[in-house]
Amino acid sequence: MSAMPDAGTLDARPFAEPAGAGVSAGRHTVGPNAIIQTRAALDQIAGAGARQAILAAAGLASLSERDPDGMVEADIVNALNGEIAARLDAATAAAVMERAGALTGDYILANRIPGAAKRLLALLPAPLARRMLIRAIAGNAWTFAGQAQIDTGADFIAINANPLCLGRSGFSSCIWHVAVFRRLFTALVDPAMTIHETECVGHGGEACRFGIVKA
């Protein structure tokens, strides 16, 4: 039997931080997939015409056909998500956000998690694998939460003052977070894992809290 990968594999930012990651000018910045995969989801679900109109309305016409050069400000992502909510019916908007999250999860699985880390998680009991993946995700929170404080436990991730939550707009952009986490945990820990948002900044909570449990 081959040697088990070192547990340290999951400690050193397994999502392979790109050059220039971080924050600038004191503003929240997040990974470009918050734009790239949402744009792809719009094409798949609403069509290219709707995607072009929505990005233009959000002031992002320049990103309708090209990818961001690097990290993007959370305000830009929120502008895009706000136009999705405003211009699509509720069911379609939710479907776009869920698909964008799933596509982001697929990208992370294919490009940001080393094979050794995947093999390690596959060898571990599900509860331990879940805790290790939660820890790894928290260590890479800059990709989806900017500078926000992240709290974690054995079965939850909480984003305090979540910069990608649209607030009391009647639309939950946290659908994107749920879909990202679901894709990662079902692929790497247990296909029966499920994610539920149990507290939301947009509904008066202090954090967006995501429970991670086996269905």
Q: At residue 11, what are phi and psi to the nearest 5 degrees?
A: -90, -25
- 25-29, 76-80, 114-118, 169-173: range with lowest mean pLDDT: 25-29
**pLDDT on residue 167:** 65
**pLDDT on residue 13:** 39
**pLDDT on residue 75:** 93
Topology given in CATH for the domain delimited by 29-214: H-NOX domain (3.90.1520)
Predicted TM-score of the model (pTM): 0.87
In angstroms, rounded to a whole number, what is the distance separating the alpha carbons of residues 202 and 62? Answer: 29
- The domain segmentation of the chain, as residue ranges, is 29-214
In angstroms, rounded to a whole number, what is the distance separating the alpha carbons of residues 132 and 121? Answer: 8
Residue 200 pLDDT more than 50?
Answer: yes
Residue 22 pLDDT more than 60?
Answer: no
CA distances from 144 to 46, 52, 64, 123, 161 (A): 24, 24, 21, 27, 12
**pLDDT on residue 170:** 63
Arithmetic mean of pLDDT over the chain:
87
